[in-house]
Amino acid sequence: MKLVIIIAGEEYLKRYFHKFPDNKSDKKKVFYKNCSLESLKILQENGFKKILLPTPDENGQKKFIEEYNELIATVTRDNPNRLWWATDIASKNRFTSQLPFILQEFIEIKEILQQNDFDRLIIINLSESLLEVLKKTLHDLNICFIVSGNSPRRWLRIKCSIIKKNGALFYNAFKILRNLFYAQKKLHKIWRARISRDKQYYVIKTFVYNHSFTPEGEYKDVFFGCLPEFLKEKTDVLIFAYILGDYRFCIEKIARINDPIIFPFELLLSWRDVVKAVIQIWGYHIRVAENISFFSSNVASIIHHELEKNFKGIQIYQFLHYESTKKLVELVRVKFFLMTYENNPWERMCTIAIKENNPSAKIIGYQHTVVPQAALNVLIGLKERETAPLPDRILTVGEIPKKILEKYGNYKTGDVETACALRFESLSEGSLCFRQNSRRILVALEGVPGVQPMVDYVIRQLANDHRYEVMIRTHPVLPWNYFEKKFGYEISRIPNFKISHGSTLTDDLNWAGLVIYWGSTVVLEALKMGKPAIHFNIGSVLSFDPLFECHFLKWIITPEDSLSKVLESVDQLPDDQWSIQQLAAQNYIDRYFYPILKENLRKFLVV
């Protein structure tokens, strides 16, 4: 008799084997996404082998994107309102919505069940949103199953998540109220003297950090680089900013700058706007049909659970961009409105506000960074193109991203054009470096917790292997102490590992002979210098690799591969092939990121 054992958490694994000593079946399999070393050891001791599913080919990946876009379109049809467009699920951002990865997990498990190549199947660390739909699937397939886990504890975790999200709504509302009172106190008299109703403004919606200001007090845009200075020669520029740095510090700096004019997002809000937003978010109910198909399976319960767990997934600061933008376009005459293009909720709030209140303004979305295949937020569906609030025009950093958007998205001809890489000016500098061996390894992390499996893999593979020196470079958003506290890493006890502290990216790349990455843009700098790279593939149906279509001077590893063997294959590449691949990789980067030339900058003035 076939049996599926759903282990609701790793703490229950030992209890299960203690309570139910395993039989002598030869077909004992296990499925998991993340699993501790201790749990893997227990599973291996009991004869369970991990099921390895093949990575879908390009047609399979495109089909997944189409199915997911159709799913979002189905929910959109029942929620034709601004609050829906403010949700993380509607934005399809890979870092704020886990829905596509949960759906992938369900499709993989369903495929395993249909293949029927097991007697005992353990599913460990199952996403909680999948439990009910998986039970129904097992029942429909007449497969016996048991769930080993504490149901009351699972219920408590869900309720705690909901309470936490509710608390975050009120806490963030309080922060916005505090910020808007401070901004109005410091800037109320100043900004009215700086603007003119007779002028037409080119508005740049951006983000401000502490390092957006030079020691001399000048403003340098982190996202748009030299563009504001270029535009100031042609038109009047207004910076519409959300402050991500120290709020009071940045407001003090803004108060001293006459040019350009900088409007903090909160400056145009009132306390009534904030209270109203809390009430709207609190009372909003997202309609989800009883049957929503995804690869011929009804996944409505999964969507319900994700919405409940994340309290609808609406962040108040993003939602309030509608009110702030509405007041901006009522206050000044806006000819152009430029913003980054990632289809985040705040972008859609800005777009709706402009199209409702100043439809003559031209909205430009700037694709300012890389476009991995997993960037579903910008790979829009056919129905989404007709209903979603989108910019009038999208400018990319170069040729490659434009082709990716057109290949996997459903953009109309002429909607997407190339411009230049405003944030990657350094890539146009420097030359290819000499070949080094791969004994010095830089592990480049993204600023998201999802990069942890790569850290775990590299430590497991290379700790105390004195042939290699390993440096881990964290993202500023997520410093190393987060990983230490969250996952218990003790790098100081591993003699051949160290953390990058205080050094520049250029310094770290000059030290390294090779870079290991998951989704970090550090790989762009590495390949441009001629440094080899290894992409860590976590097994997702869509690639997180920012250079997923580049095959030059790049290797791919999975959690099941031997890292030392891959490193040896890098060193064994003949010199003539190495030189060919170096040049090909550099050419690819040059096509990905166009240089900052005046003819490219002028495209920001044409719609």
In tens, the pLDDT along 171-189 reads: 999 999 999 999 999 998 8
- Residue 540 is predicted with a pLDDT of 84
Average of pLDDT values for 306-317? 84
Does the pLDDT at position 206 exceed 80? Answer: yes
CA 480 to chain centre: 19
- Residue 150 is predicted with a pLDDT of 61
Q: Determine if the pTM surpasses 0.75.
A: yes
CA distance 129 to 117: 25
Computed over every residue of the chain, the mean pLDDT equals 89
Least reliable range by pLDDT among 95-99, 231-235, 409-413, 565-569: 95-99
Does the pLDDT at position 444 exceed 90? Answer: yes
CA distance 340 to 364: 8
Task: Enter the tokens of residue 174.
Answer: 């309080």
Instruction: Kindly report the three-state secondary structure assignment for every residue of 95-160.
Output: CCCCHHHHHHHHHHHHHHHHHCCCCEEEEECCCHHHHHHHHHHHHHCCCEEEEECCHHHHHHHHHH
- Residue 81 is predicted with a pLDDT of 93
Residue bearing the bigger pLDDT, 558 or 16: 558
Task: Enter the tokens of residue 10.
Answer: 């790793």
Average of pLDDT values for 125-129? 84
Cβ neighbours, 10 Å, residue 271: 12
Average of pLDDT values for 478-493? 87
- Residue 155 is predicted with a pLDDT of 64
- Residue 23 is predicted with a pLDDT of 62
Average of pLDDT values for 212-217? 89
pLDDT band at 22 (very low <50, low <70, confident <90, very high): low
Least reliable range by pLDDT among 23-27, 300-304, 515-519: 23-27
Contacts (Cβ under 8 Å, ≥6 apart) of 417? 393, 394, 395, 396, 402, 603
Average of pLDDT values for 84-106? 90
- Residue 583 is predicted with a pLDDT of 93
- Residue 503 is predicted with a pLDDT of 87
pLDDT band at 42 (very low <50, low <70, confident <90, very high): confident
- Residue 436 is predicted with a pLDDT of 81
CA distance 258 to 67: 50
Cβ neighbours, 10 Å, residue 488: 7
CA distance 13 to 148: 8
Please answer whether residues 496 and 462 qualify as being in contact, where contact means their C-beta atoms are separated by less than 8 angstroms.
yes
In tens, the pLDDT along 386-435 reads: 999 999 999 999 999 999 999 999 999 899 999 999 988 777 665 677 88
CATH number for domain 431-592, candidates 3.40.1160.10, 3.40.50.2000, 1.10.1740.10, 3.30.70.260: 3.40.50.2000
Average of pLDDT values for 86-96? 89
Contacts (Cβ under 8 Å, ≥6 apart) of 47? 22, 28
Does the pLDDT at position 162 exceed 80? Answer: no
Is the CATH code 3.40.605.10 the one for domain 171-267+315-424?
Answer: no
- Residue 342 is predicted with a pLDDT of 94
Does the pLDDT at position 152 exceed 60? Answer: no
Does the pLDDT at position 36 exceed 90? Answer: no
Does the pLDDT at position 35 exceed 90? Answer: no
CA distance 231 to 224: 11
In tens, the pLDDT along 185-201 reads: 999 888 778 888 889 99
- Residue 428 is predicted with a pLDDT of 61
| Closest to 60 in 3D by CA, of 561, 598, 543 | 543
Does the pLDDT at position 577 exceed 90? Answer: yes
Does the pLDDT at position 450 exceed 70? Answer: yes
Does the pLDDT at position 590 exceed 60? Answer: yes
From residue 32, how far is each of 127, 151, 487 by CA, in Å?
10, 20, 18
- Residue 322 is predicted with a pLDDT of 97
In DSSP terms, 497 is beta-bridged to: 470
Please answer whether residues 113 and 22 qualify as being in contact, where contact means their C-beta atoms are separated by less than 8 angstroms.
no
pLDDT band at 158 (very low <50, low <70, confident <90, very high): low
Least reliable range by pLDDT among 302-306, 369-373, 377-381: 302-306
E-only strand ranges, 131-259:
144-148, 200-208, 236-243
From residue 141, how far is each of 52, 118, 122, 137 by CA, in Å?
22, 14, 17, 6
Q: Are 171-267+315-424 and 431-592 equal in CATH topology?
A: yes
Please answer whether residues 483 and 443 qualify as being in contact, where contact means their C-beta atoms are separated by less than 8 angstroms.
no
CA distance 88 to 303: 12
Cβ neighbours, 10 Å, residue 487: 13
Triad 386, 391, 393: Cα angle to 5° = 105
Domain ranges of the chain: 3-149, 171-267+315-424, 431-592
From residue 477, how far is each of 159, 244, 245, 329, 481 by CA, in Å?
28, 11, 11, 32, 11
CA dihedral of 255, 261, 263, 267, whole degrees rounded to 10? 50
pLDDT band at 465 (very low <50, low <70, confident <90, very high): very high
Indicate the pairing of strand 236-243 with strand 200-208.
parallel
CA distance 444 to 509: 10
Cβ neighbours, 10 Å, residue 229: 15
In tens, the pLDDT along 324-360 reads: 999 999 999 999 999 999 999 999 999 999 999 999 9
Does the pLDDT at position 38 exceed 80? Answer: no
- Residue 430 is predicted with a pLDDT of 58
| Closest to 271 in 3D by CA, of 173, 357, 190, 185 | 173
Please answer whether residues 254 and 187 qualify as being in contact, where contact means their C-beta atoms are separated by less than 8 angstroms.
yes
